[in-house]
Amino acid sequence: MAKKTTPSLTVESSIKQNREPDWIDISVDIKGSASDRVEAYQQFEAQMNKVKAVTDGLGDIVAEVKVDPSRERTEEIDKTFKKAEVFHVTSQATIRIGKSAGLGATLAALVSAGLTFDDPSFVYPDTPEIQPEQLEIAAAGARKKAEACARGAGCQLGDVMSIRIPQSHENMSLKPVSNFLSMDLLSLKMPTFDAMEARFPTYEDEFTVIVTYELVSV
């Protein structure tokens, strides 16, 4: 005698979640150049002080500041009837902010200080974590689908037989950094940063809940 198979219905429902960046890093150039070595270091120190003033003024927006060791080099340039030596002192400071909401204020402060910086670097978590309430929404969506199918087939839902949550699917897109900037910064163009052209990656994670229900005849 063949084993009786329990009628069942399997449905799935998805929910999408934007992945927020853990950090945003901004690399700031610190440099001094002059024909006199002492003057080059004075310029360098002045730029260092500007970076400190900016980060101190931003308060809790700044999570961390790292400054690379300074590097010194000399360059020989042609001047009228002679060669001249120019001293260069360079370094780079990385300003890390913990929330994207503080990006506009940080860029505005750097611009006001006359500092040069690169496009912001957005650091995202590797593994997304879905919140329990989102799973609940996805599971409720699956039940609504199942109830509609069961009604159409003249049945009703019985017990839940299984629930599966496959690995999430990641979607990446590029969005303009200008989304974070005020109107007065939108036309900003610097040697290493163009507000209108700068892009950053955003991630959207799609989670799916697959539920199998027992079907009961009405």
pLDDT of residue 65: 96
pLDDT tens sequence across 59-79: 999 999 999 999 999 888 776
Mean pLDDT of the chain: 85
State the DSSP code for 110: H
Q: Where are the domains of the chain?
A: 1-20+126-218, 21-123
Asked if residue 127 has pLDDT above 80, the reply is no
Beta strands in the chain (DSSP E): 8-19, 23-34, 62-67, 71-79, 82-97, 121-123, 155-164, 169-176, 189-190, 193-194, 199-217
Same fold, 1-20+126-218 and 21-123: no
**The pTM is what?**
0.69
The residue ranking higher by pLDDT, 171 or 46, is 46
Q: Coil, helix or strand for 6?
A: coil
User: Is 165:209 a contact under the CB 8 Å cutoff?
Assistant: yes
pLDDT tens sequence across 143-156: 999 999 999 999 99
21-123: CATH number: 3.30.70.2970
Tell me the CATH architecture of domain 1-20+126-218: 2-Layer Sandwich (3.30)
Two tokens, residue 186: 């939108």
